[in-house]
Amino acid sequence: MKNRHKRLALIAGGVAAFGIATALVLNAFQSNLVFFFTPTQVSAGEAPQERTFRVGGMVQTGSVQRQSDGLTVKFVVTDTAKMIPVSYTGILPDLFSEGKGVVAQGKLGADGLFRAEEVLAKHDENYMPSEAQHALDEAAKNTIATRP
Amino acid sequence: MIPEIGHFSLILTLFVALAQGCLALAGAARGNAVWIAFARPAARAQFLLIIVSFATLGWSFIVKDFSVAYVAQNSNSQLPLLYRVSAVWGGHEGSLLLWLLMQTGWAYAVSVFSKQLPDVMVARVLGVLGLVTAGFLLFVLLTSNPFERLLPAPIEGMDLNPLLQDIGLIFHPPLLYMGYVGFSVAFAFAIAALLAGQLDSTWARWSRPWATAAWLFLTLGIALGSWWAYYELGWGGWWFWDPVENSSFIPWLVGTALIHSLAVTEKRASFKNWTVLLAISTFSLSLLGAFLVRSGVLTSVHTFATDPRRGVFILMLFAVVVGSSLFLFALRAPKVGMGGRFELISRESLLLVNNVLLAVAAGAVILGTLYPLFIDALGLGKLSVGPPYFNAVFIPLMVPALLLMAVGPVANWKSAKISALMKHLHVPAVVALMVGVGAPFMLGRWSALVALGLALATWIATAVVKGIVDRMRATRTGLRAQPLSWLGMHLAHLGIAVFVAGVTLVMGYETEQDVRMTPGSTVSAGGYDLKFLGVNKAQGPNYVAEIGDIELSRDGRILRLLHPEKRSYISSEMPMTEAAIDANGLRHVYVALGEPLTDGAWSVRVYYKPFVDWIWIGCILMALGGLLAISDRRYRLKRRERKAALVAGGATS
């Protein structure tokens, strides 16, 4: 009798712990998944408003403009097909530069300006961020597909 | 010629490892004493051969032999000698050679420190290790040969990634690999026990020090990686929940569960199946970590190459290890007895809860790390799981684990009385409540999370101190007379308390600001004033740098000058940020240069990080605790005594 109780209690405890953990995980998952969109997808209106997401591609050459406060930077992210204006306040990563790959995480405003909270560039300049590469590949595929 | 010796020596090791694996295991199965006796010398020979290989690669780096492709990719004639040596493991191929050095080194250690073990058992353990070594050797020889020649030889090498030209890199990979690979010993012990059908507390006692040793190295390796990222990447964060960090943290979580579960198996002969499963999982997850980091699935500073063959090979190795060991487990597990019984409130059930929490936490981290990869592989889009997910899941899971951490060591095995627990723990509870409620007021801003974190840290620390004092009083002995493994446990728990306090205070009171500073302007952080004096150019051995002068002062009194640097490496034209940190054990003032703006102004990163050192001090205490535990005399008892105990145990069961 006693052993059965003990085992029941252990099983109940295990199930409860597992249930709570699952609930925590799913709850946190729901709100913390950050999706990636290419500039083409963003201009097609596929990206959500009022929710954080990532956009990536190349920094358009000649598009980087520093604002008068010295810390806000505006630049354009392109996948060669479409362009998205981005603004970021803070210090950019060492490897951020024009003509190189970049991934920005933030929210899209109603005015079409992407306000980045975080800008990621690569640790090593030989490598392209995989997401940025993906954006370029997708755009290249689309241009080939639409060509007559 | 020299590199070919290294290559040849690798091939030779493969044959020795294969022969050792087959002969030792077959010998153990058939009781052939000659084959069994082959295991120890074979393990030593492998270690020696890999040392030769490693030394030849090191020599090629030292003499700047750019005809070796790996040297040409990771070195440069201007690279200082220290970094030329550490560049041996700065790239993919060399780091695998380091892995092999560690792998054969652990096997060598087993062959030396196993005099008290029966020869059959040693043969099985070394046989399994030999097969694992052979798997990795095949991987190196087929996909990642560090001795490949480049003809014609380039005049100049491409240089080591500047991020890796740092003292942190010299020690981070070796420590981490010692941990990763060290769990292969615990794995080999588990497989050997399954093969022998002999899963008992003696087996647990044998594998315990090995698991603890691996765990302590992994702890140090992760801590050093965190410290390195903190100051070298210039972001000032100590943990990012980056997939690469996670892939070393997952084996740590499961390994922590393993060393606790092994304690139960040794003392009470319970949890046997679970312990074996954990030993298999820990090593498998180390392999999974290696796959994630090395295959190019994740892009990060750790990903050296994106040769898909490599990823496939590690995945196959992973599948073989997991598949065969789980198959063996399924065959043998039903024959394993239940072991000692225990009550609902007992040390066993507390440790069971600890194991469940750690395993669930590991599962949650695995989910967050692998989910984006699965979604990407299935072509369902690209996404990432950010730090908020991990914090939201991990912290609530660890709170009960930390609460129970003070209870476990004072609870009796088999059956514990609540009244006895209360007697032990009412003092820590009162102190923890007082500190939790009071301390945040003194530190400035009261918040529930800071109160909780500090209360938990105090609860554990007070329980540790009280536990040690109580025992010394009860036995009327000094600190030196206590068993080392028992003191080691308490020291490691104290390390957790220090770590939790550090994390809580950093997260609660750190300030981070990115500011524009013109020469002469001042910014304040955490009660300190930082005056920007200007930036000067300087020349390093293989880079040019712009070095900032920043005057740190408090209440008008000048403390020191800080010199953050912005470097540009000549060979790779890669920019690098070197932060300047003023540390005193209680707080860091952290300054990093951003970019030059107009009029001699710079964007500057100014962080104030209270108690951030405690995070790494806590990890060092945990590792020291592990070191104390494995130096316990009881693991080195004479073979004769053990044999007598075995015979006696066999007669009664």
DSSP labels, B389-440: HHHHHHHHHHHHHHHHHHHGGGSPSS---HHHHHHHHHHHHHHHHHHHHHHH
Q: Are B346 and B353 in contact (CB under 8 A)?
A: no
Question: Which pLDDT score is estimated for B147?
Answer: 94
Number of residues in chain B: 653
A48 contact B CB<8A: no
Whether A36 and B386 lie within 8 Å, measured CB to CB: no
The residue type at B343: E
> Is it the case that residue B168 has pLDDT exceeding 60?
yes
Tell me the pLDDT band of A129, cut-offs 50, 70 and 90. low
Residue A104, min C-alpha distance to chain B (Å) = 12
Percent of chain B with pLDDT over 70: 94
Structure tokens at A147: 């060509």
Q: What is the pLDDT of residue B494?
A: 97
Give the pLDDT confidence of B351-394 residue by residue, as tens digits. 998 998 999 899 989 988 888 888 877 878 788 888 888 998 89
Q: Which long-range contacts (CB under 8 A, 24 or more apart) does B86-89 make?
A: B86/B164, B86/B169, B86/B170, B87/B61, B87/B160, B87/B164, B88/B54, B88/B57, B88/B58, B88/B61, B89/B173, B89/B174
Would you tell me which residues 609-628 of chain B have a C-beta closer than 8 angstroms to some C-beta of chain A?
none
Strand (E) or helix (H) holding B593:
strand B587-596
> Strand pairing partners for A108?
A114
Domain boundaries, chain A: 1-32, 35-146
Cβ contact, residue pair A17, B360, below 8 Å: yes
Question: Tens digit of pLDDT for each residue in B407-451?
Answer: 999 998 888 888 989 988 999 999 999 999 998 888 888 899 999
Which amino acid is located at A17 in the chain? A
Q: Does A13 touch chain B (CB under 8 A)?
A: yes
Give per-residue pLDDT as tens, B513-571.
Answer: 989 999 999 999 988 999 999 999 999 888 899 999 999 999 989 999 999 999 888 87
Residue of B nearest to A10 (CA): B344
- A71 has a chain B CB within 8 A of its CB: yes
- What's the alpha-carbon Rg for chain A, to the nearest Å? 22
d(CA B562, CA A56): 36
Q: Are B620 and B217 in contact (CB under 8 A)?
A: no
What residues of chain A lie within 8 A of the CB of B572, using their CB? Answer: 125
Q: Does position B115 have pLDDT exceeding 90, yes or no?
A: no
Quote the minimal CA–CA distance from B364 to chain A in Å: 7
| Residue bearing tokens 């951020």 | A96
Q: How confident is the model at residue B308 (pLDDT cuts 50, 70, 90)?
A: low
Chain-centroid distance, C-alpha B423: 36
Residue B305 has pLDDT above 50, yes or no: no
Which residues between 349 and 378 in chain B have a beta carbon less than 8 angstroms from any beta carbon of chain A?
349, 352-353, 356-357, 360, 363-364, 367-368, 371
CA distance B304 to chain A (A): 10
A88 marked as part of a ligand binding site: no
Give yes or no for a contact between B535 and B549, defined as CB atoms under 8 angstroms apart.
yes
End-to-end CA distance of chain A: 79
- Judged by a CB distance cut-off of 8 A, whether residue B598 touches chain A is yes
pLDDT computed for residue B315 by the predictor: 82
What pTM value is reported for the model? 0.91
pLDDT for A47 equals 87
pLDDT digits (tens, 9 = 90+) for B233-262: 767 788 988 888 899 999 999 999 999 999
**What pLDDT, on a 0 to 100 scale, did the predictor assign at position A127?**
52
Asked if the interface predicted TM-score (ipTM) of this complex is over 0.90, the answer is: no
Burial B476-488 (b: 16+ CB within 10 A, else e): eeeeeeeebbbbb
Task: Say if residue A123 carries a ligand binding annotation.
Answer: yes
Cβ density class B406-438: b for 16+ within 10 Å, e for less = bbbbbbebeebeeeebeebbeebbebbeebbee
Q: What is the pLDDT of residues B80-103, one digit of tens each?
A: 899 999 999 888 889 899 999 999
Q: What angle do CA A51, B506, B547 make, to 5 degrees?
A: 90
**What's phi and psi for B414, nearest 5 deg?**
70, -55
Write out the H or E segment, with its range, that includes residue B124.
Answer: helix B119-143
Q: How confident is the model at residue B299 (pLDDT cuts 50, 70, 90)?
A: low
Assigned CATH class of A35-146: mainly beta
